[in-house]
Chain A
Amino acid sequence: MKNKGLAVFLVGILLFSVAVSGCIGGGGTETQTSTPQYAGKIAVVYDVGGRGDLSFNDMAYLGASRAAKDFNLELKEVQSNSESDYLPNLRSLARKGEYDIIIAVGFMMTDAIKQVADEFPNQKFAIVDGFVPDKPNVMSILFKENEGSALIGALAGLIAANDGKDRVGAVLGIEIPVLYKFESGYRFGVAWAEDYYKQKTGKDVNIEVLSTYTGEFNDPAKGKTAAQAQLGQGAWVIYQIAGATGQGVFDAVYEYLQSQGKDMGPPFAVGVDSAQDWIKPGVIIASMMKRVDVGVYKAVEMAVKGNWQGGVMELGLKEGGVGVSTIDDVKEMFNSLSEETKKQKLKELGFTSEDELFAKLEETRKQVPDWIWNAVKELEEKIKSGEIKVPMATTKDQIEALRNAQTWQEMEELAKQWESS
């Protein structure tokens, strides 16, 4: 008797669920049929950081969605719950065989991409930041972070020299080869600034670069402590290369300025990956932008336009893959946020309108004399034309050698040695 009641109950629930899902779900299927005819499909697999990180994954989405619109493609997005999801996610997509290209965001997916690329030789893949040089169906999208960081180094070095200071800093995440690329460019830029300053003013300056690896990409508290220590040692500009840990760097510089009764640097912080200037107006002089969106867009374009090529696509200053943020870049980044987020952020920052925010950012940049900005431009042109070669350390030994080098010419010599070997 009791069992019978149970069975009736079960059936009832089932019927109810079907009925409910039928009537409410109906609307969804109708809109589906009215979607436009797509010319193809692309898929993006995010790493565990996922969307909403205001940096890496969001930039990948920006590039993919722009490409989807321009080439009339349907975009599928897949998030990863944990690292063991990477392979199943990529395989599930590749097994369908209907995607023009599958894009994996983040170097953590390198092993998984290598494996699926062999299993599905006709499927095109791209991986952001991962190095898979030898497969015809995989494009590795890499960035010359060293070139962008060299410009930041020049900016930081000249600001310090101009104010009569002798130290600048960098707060980094985990000690991995990608971060050596940032650090080598930064050190090179500072050394170049010493030389430039001497030629301009005739004065000898020696600027020391403090670098702290916090061991974390997701710990603002650690970033703050590291930045406070560097400020205490007299660092005049601090470059954050540490993901979310870097939020703490902004906070530390902000509090330092407040304790001096200032609402604008110097000292300054420098942002990374996206145009982060708006996060703490007055504190962040500029950001080293890594245009993941440009890389993803180019990969999709090549896949759908038929000029596909596997191998490494390295994007530097010349290709627009890295660069120092401009006010326009900041505007674009800020406008990619939703209206609600924008309003809330403006309120948090104490502005009544966007114009006020951007006016403040303009004013912040005016704290640095024009000749410094022009010097940075000059270095940019020289790197683009190939006249100056920025070193790119990828091993512990190489970065050590670079830390011991005194002049930028010495560093350039190292760069040439590494390239030839």
Chain B
Amino acid sequence: MRVDIKGFAKPLVESLIAIVIGIVVGGIILAFSGYSPVKAYVALFDGAVGSKYGWAMTLSAATPIILTALTFGIGARTGLFNIGGEGTVYFGAIAAILLTNLWGNILMGLLGGIIAGIAWMAIPAFLKVLRGVNEVVSTIMLNWMAYFIALYIVLQKIPNPEDPNKTIAVPASARFPIIMKGSELSWAFAISVIAALITYYILWHTELGYELRVSGYNERAARYGGINPKKAVIWSFLLGGIMSGLAGATEVMGRPPSYAISQGMANIYGYGFDGIGVSLVGRNHPLGIIFSGIFFGMLKAGATAMQIEAGVPLEMVRMVQGVIVVAVAVPGLLDLLKRVVRR
């Protein structure tokens, strides 16, 4: 596999600058609000990567958002603005719980996530191909439908009879083993990384991937070159569905302590939206997404330490994170806008 080093350099430097700007602006805001930015950032980085446990927290927080970012990234690379990852996560989680309770092993759970992801993403795919429905509109609406359908299933169909605040749990035999004892980091993280590597391979080293990317760059040129853009749309949605479905599945199979979906889906809510930011920071590139996912994981893990060590309230932590994310996402967003405008 030949990796184009030069092509990576520019976006990498841009992203790094953005991170620095984000950190500085966040620091200034912290200082003016009466907190010590030095103390806060030391706490953030020490908490996130200063110890083995910090790394474990960081990587476990990165696990689901790498996968949901791949959904958005694949879409962006093929010219789609696919924000349906959020809803797909719910069904991935539900399917994994159902299948592992029938056959108690990890593979069945992953299969459940994949099937659910494909099935749910097939809806916007066919709407787009057959009826020309804009995917932004359809995926936003489908997210809401997914939320209420999933809520119904969680509350009415698979509640835990001993504890109605959550669903039945994934059986012990189908849970990802914990990598480091006494942490939340499980081998589900490996699934995320492998999924990103496979996505990279498909997009840059197969004929299908070439077709997908070409349709993303310029649909008309692709058609002229004999590529069926409808095929590209369908593949893009289905691959994206697999990723978010897996995110839901690995979340319930790999995150202690509950291994179940809790009331209001509070433990699986929001990953799809987080994934959009992760993907933009990673410049919609599967390998970039691994690193930006870990960076977002750091911010999440560091938030705990910032509260404990520096006394910075969570609202403030979130705000600083927001500034960093905006600063980092700007170049990626500009890229995407440029492409959309050109289209």
Contacts and interface: CB of A to CB of B under 8 A. Distances in A.
Contacts of B313: 77, 79
Nearest to B20: A13
B184 A78 contact: no
A28 B36 contact: yes
Contacts of A119: 182
Contacts of B41: 21
Given A28-B34, A175-B164, A114 B266 contact: no
Contact of A6 (B13, B31, B267): B13
Contact of B314 (A24, A76, A81, A114): A81
A66 interface: no
B53 A78 contact: no
Interface string B197-228: 00000000000000000000000000000000
Contact of B31 (A9, A25, A81, A91): A25
B270 A177 contact: no
B300 A81 contact: yes
B318 interface: yes
Interface in A114-161: 114-115, 119
Contacts of A108: 165, 262-263, 266
B303 interface: yes
Interface stretch (B22-30, B105-113, B282-290): B22-30
Nearest to B181: A119
A24 B36 CA distance: 7
A82 B257 contact: no
B211 to A, nearest CB: 35
B250 to A, nearest CB: 12
A85 B38 contact: no
Contacts of B20: 10, 13-14, 17
Interface string A93-115: 10110000000000110011011
A177 B164 contact: yes
Contacts of B39: 25, 28-29
Main secondary structure of the interface of A (DSSP, over half): helix
B164 A84 contact: no
Contacts of B308: 43, 76, 78, 92-93, 96
Given A76-B308, A77-B307, A82-B267, A21 B17 contact: no
A295 to B, nearest CB: 20
Contacts of A89: 304
A16 interface: yes
B256 interface: yes
A83 interface: yes
Contact of A83 (B27, B267, B307, B311): B267
Contacts of B318: 81
Contacts of B16: 10
B165 A87 contact: no
A359 interface: no
Contacts of B164: 175-177
B301 interface: yes
B36 A20 contact: no
A25 B28 CA distance: 10
B21 interface: yes
Interface in A49-65: 50
A96 B305 CA distance: 11
Given A6-B13, A85-B304, A21 B53 contact: no
A6 B184 contact: no
A92 B47 contact: yes
Contacts of B77: none
Nearest to A50: B314
A383 B36 CA distance: 53
A359 B38 CA distance: 51
Interface string B157-169: 0000000110000
A88 interface: yes
A115 B256 contact: yes
B147 interface: no
Contacts of B28: 20, 24
Contact of A82 (B38, B258, B270, B305): B270
Nearest to B35: A28
A111 B166 CA distance: 11
Interface in B244-302: 255-258, 262-263, 266-267, 269-270, 300-301
Contacts of A14: 20
A312 interface: no
Interface in B1-51: 13, 16-17, 20-21, 23-24, 27-28, 30-32, 34-39, 41, 47
B23 A17 contact: yes
B142 interface: no
Considering residues A28, A76, A78, which has the most beta carbons from chain B within 10 angstroms of its beta carbon? A28
B70 interface: no
Contacts of A302: none
A92 B309 CA distance: 11
B66 interface: no
Given A83-B266, A112-B257, A25 B304 contact: no
Nearest to A18: B38
B307 A82 contact: no
Contacts of A405: none
A174 B263 contact: yes
A98 to B, nearest CB: 11
B56 to A, nearest CB: 9
A89 B314 CA distance: 12
Interface string B120-157: 00000000000000000000000000000000000100
Contacts of B183: 91
Contacts of A22: 38
A48 interface: yes
B57 interface: yes
B307 A20 contact: no
A114 B256 CA distance: 11
Given A13-B20, A20-B27, A107-B165, 16 more contacts: A6-B17, A14-B20, A17-B27, A18-B38, A20-B37, A21-B27, A21-B38, A21-B41, A24-B28, A50-B314, A81-B314, A82-B267, A82-B270, A83-B262, A92-B305, A108-B165
15 contacts: A13-B20, A17-B20, A17-B37, A20-B37, A25-B36, A25-B39, A28-B34, A43-B308, A79-B314, A81-B318, A84-B255, A91-B53, A91-B183, A119-B182, A176-B165
10 closest A-B pairs (Cβ-Cβ)?
A24-B31, A25-B36, A79-B314, A21-B37, A28-B36, A83-B267, A111-B257, A17-B24, A83-B266, A115-B257
